[in-house]
C-alpha cells in the first residue's frame, strides 16, 4: 500500500483517506467507507497495467487521469465523466 500512496504523492494527487474516511468514526459505527467516489483497482472494466516488478496488474491511473481530463475539457458533468470513465 505504501508504494501506491507514494505514487499519488509523487504525482501531486491528494488523497483524503486510505482505507478509511478521516473522522467517520465520530458519526458512524459502520466499517464501510462512506465516499463520493470509490475506484477499485480490481473493478470489472478498469484499465489495468502490469508494471515491471509487480506480481499482478494494477489500475492504470494514467488512463484514468486522462479520461477525467478529457471529460473535464469537453464540459461533461462529473456524473457523465464517471459514467464514461471505463468505456473503451
Whole-number Å distance between alpha carbons of 2 and 23: 21
In terms of pTM, does the model score above 0.95? no
Domains of the chain: which residue ranges? 1-35, 43-88
Between 18 and 51, the more confident residue is: 51
Whole-number Å distance between alpha carbons of 47 and 78: 19
Quick one: pLDDT band at residue 44, thresholds 50, 70, 90? low
Q: What is the pLDDT of residue 41?
A: 58
The Cα-based distances of 78 to 3, 37, 62, 72, 88 in angstroms read: 28, 11, 18, 8, 18
Amino acid at each position: 500500500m505504501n508504494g501506491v500512496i507514494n505514487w499519488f504523492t509523487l504525482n501531486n494527487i491528494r488523497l483524503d483517506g486510505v482505507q478509511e474516511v478521516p473522522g467517520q468514526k465520530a458519526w458512524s459505527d459502520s466499517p464501510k467507507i462512506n465516499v463520493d467516489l470509490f475506484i477499485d483497482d480490481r473493478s470489472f472494466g478498469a484499465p489495468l497495467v502490469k508494471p515491471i516488478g509487480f506480481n499482478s496488474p494494477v489500475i492504470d491511473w494514467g488512463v484514468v487521469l486522462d479520461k477525467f481530463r478529457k471529460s473535464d475539457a469537453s464540459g461533461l458533468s462529473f456524473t457523465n465523466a464517471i459514467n464514461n470513465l471505463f468505456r473503451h
